[in-house]
Amino acid sequence: GENVEQHPSTLSVQEGDSAVIKCTYSDSASNYFPWYKQELGKRPQLIIDIRSNVGEKKDQRIAVTLNKTAKHFSLHITETQPEDSAVYFCAASIRSGATNKLIFGTGTLLAVQP
């Protein structure tokens, strides 16, 4: 079935260190993989995304890598800061009829310790 697994569920790092969150997906036809940051009670905020024709994408301190063969993708945050503390979700697009729906991973609570 449609499934996106995400690990770890919680991650605590020291300010300045790197954080890595990993996701795997089940549908080999998935072609769009966004990452969201969500603060309590707010809407998910897109921080970076990658499409299936690209293996890696970087935006300042944030990068995403995609391995289509293994069906997994990862979020890398370097030089973490306390304001990076939040819940992060990966997602994968799943073809459903004439549209693509987004299925979310289970989330990672990132705590950056000052």
Partner 1 sequence: GAVVSQHPSRVICKSGTSVKIECRSLDFQATTMFWYRQFPKQSLMLMATSNEGSKATYEQGVEKDKFLINHASLTLSTLTVTSAHPEDSSFYICSARAPDFRGLLEGGYTFGSGTRLTVV
Residues that bind partner 1 (CB under 8 A): 34, 41-44, 46, 49, 89, 96-97, 99-107
Closest by CA position to 30, among listed 82, 73, 60: 73
CB-nearer residue toward partner 1: 97 or 114: 97
Residue whose tokens read 């300042």: 60
Q: Least separation, in Å, of the C-beta of 82 and partner 1?
A: 21
Distance in angstroms (rounded) separating the CA atoms of residues 52 and 46: 17
Distance in angstroms (rounded) separating the CA atoms of residues 106 and 88: 9
Q: Least separation, in Å, of the C-beta of 43 and partner 1?
A: 4
CB-nearer residue toward partner 1: 6 or 80: 6
Q: Least separation, in Å, of the C-beta of 90 and partner 1?
A: 10
Distance in angstroms (rounded) separating the CA atoms of residues 39 and 18: 20
CB-nearer residue toward partner 1: 14 or 42: 42
